[in-house]
Amino acid sequence: MDMTDPETFRLRAGPDGDIAPEGQKAGSPRSISEKRAFLALASVHGVGQKTMFGLAESGHRFSEVLDYGPGDTVVGTRAIDQKGEPISQRQWSAIRNNALGRADSLAESLDQLGVSLLFRDDADFPAQLLDLARPPHWLFVQGSTALLHEPSVTIVGTRKPSADGLFLARYVGACLEDWDAPTVSGLAAGIDQLAHEHSLRAGVPTIAVLGTGMLDDYPKGSGVLREHILETGGTVVTEYLPRVSYSAENFVQRNRLQAALGRILIPVEWNRRSGTAHTVRFATQLHRPIACLAMPEWPDERVMLEPGLGLETGAIFTLPRHHARLNEFVLNALRTRKLAWSGQLSFLEEG
């Protein structure tokens, strides 16, 4: 980070209060749309995913933060440079104008890729994500937004599947046409990509949840699969800013979205210290049904249902012996509708 760059700054706590520049009333309507203001703020050096989430948590509009500038207290924060000195209103004006230019350029690029930006209060925002303790404040969506509202099956697993894992992935893939529901996975190498590929083969749309921004090429070599997902009516979704790259923490947070989007979770092959285990924990917390798969010759310790890891809502299915039970378990989960927006844990049968 260039500490001499006038557009590099960070935010620190300021005095209480919501003070607008002279002549403006706090909370008054703004001419800048929220989404343009969001992209502008996110483009400024020193502002990242956590800062933007914190601003959203404050309950104030991004356009307010962008308009007020650092010369006044802004929703409890104040912009300062890398030396700890407040940025002047004149400096902020230049930063703001440049940021708006970058926002317009980025918006055009995203539009050309068919990427839309949804805020939590938009009608198209998937309600099931509101079950999360910390739901995303925004989503970038490429492809079908309607698909995010359909009953779906989340399928995840190890990046390095064994022969048994490959068999179980193929077995689940062979069931997808009968279940006739979209799938959710993470586009990662291994089981995740197999889930997407088997979905495409079965003729059901699939949703890829990224642990990076839309403009980051990760995982390498997945571009062809991603394009195929979109061409067949699927969806690519992420909560990360467009140019955010991968990190271990990002993938943990991504896994909570995978768990929340599906009506049911099927972890194909995994261990207790893995990304899949995080997805299982999130699904357990969300009271999602979990179908834990096993091979006939596996010892009991290979199947991990324990407190916090699926015991509360999960069941074990040894394949192919328990095919009928698995089929019934999945179809029952897909027929139920959780009242995400009411905070209830009860289930209703859909007609």
With b for 16 or more beta-carbon neighbours within 10 A and e for fewer, the 88-108 pattern comes to: eeebbeebbeebbeebeebbe
All residue ranges of the chain with pLDDT < 70 are 1-32, 69-86, 300-301, 337-351
Tens of pLDDT along 101-155?
A: 999 999 999 999 999 999 999 999 999 999 999 999 999 999 999 999 999 999 9
Q: Is the dihedral of CA 141, 174, 289, 301 positive or negative?
A: negative
**CATH 3.40.50.450 region(s) of the chain?**
119-349
Contact 169, 189 (CB under 8 A): no
Q: Write down the pLDDT at residue 262.
A: 97
For 132, phi then psi, to 5°, come to -70, 150
Contact 77, 14 (CB under 8 A): yes
Residue with tokens 């699904």: 283
Q: Write down the pLDDT at residue 318.
A: 94
Contact 276, 160 (CB under 8 A): no
Give the total residue count for the chain.
351
CA 145 to centroid of chain Cα atoms: 13
Interatomic CA distance for residues 238 and 137, integer angstroms: 11
Interatomic CA distance for residues 85 and 10, integer angstroms: 10
Environment class of 82 (CB within 10 Å of its CB; exposed 0-12, middle 13-18, buried 19+): middle
3-state SS track over 166-229 = HHHHHHHHHHHHHHCCCEEECCCCCHHHHHHHHHHHHCCCEEEECCCCCCCCCCCCCHHHHHHH
The whole model's pTM is what?
Answer: 0.84
Please state whether beta strands 77-80 and 115-119 pair in parallel, antiparallel, or not at all (unpaired). unpaired
Nearest to 232 by CA among 278, 197, 195: 197
Separate counts of helices (H) and strands (E) for the chain: 10, 13
SS3 347: strand
Nearest to 158 by CA among 272, 257, 259: 272
Interatomic CA distance for residues 140 and 208, integer angstroms: 12
Q: Write down the pLDDT at residue 88.
A: 73
- Helix or strand run (H / E) with residue 138: strand 138-143
Residue with tokens 């179980």: 168
CATH number of 119-349: 3.40.50.450
SS3 337: strand
Tens of pLDDT along 264-293?
A: 999 999 888 788 999 999 999 999 999 999
Nearest to 272 by CA among 132, 155, 158: 158
Interatomic CA distance for residues 300 and 293, integer angstroms: 12
Structure tokens at 333: 């989960």
Structure tokens at 246: 């991968």
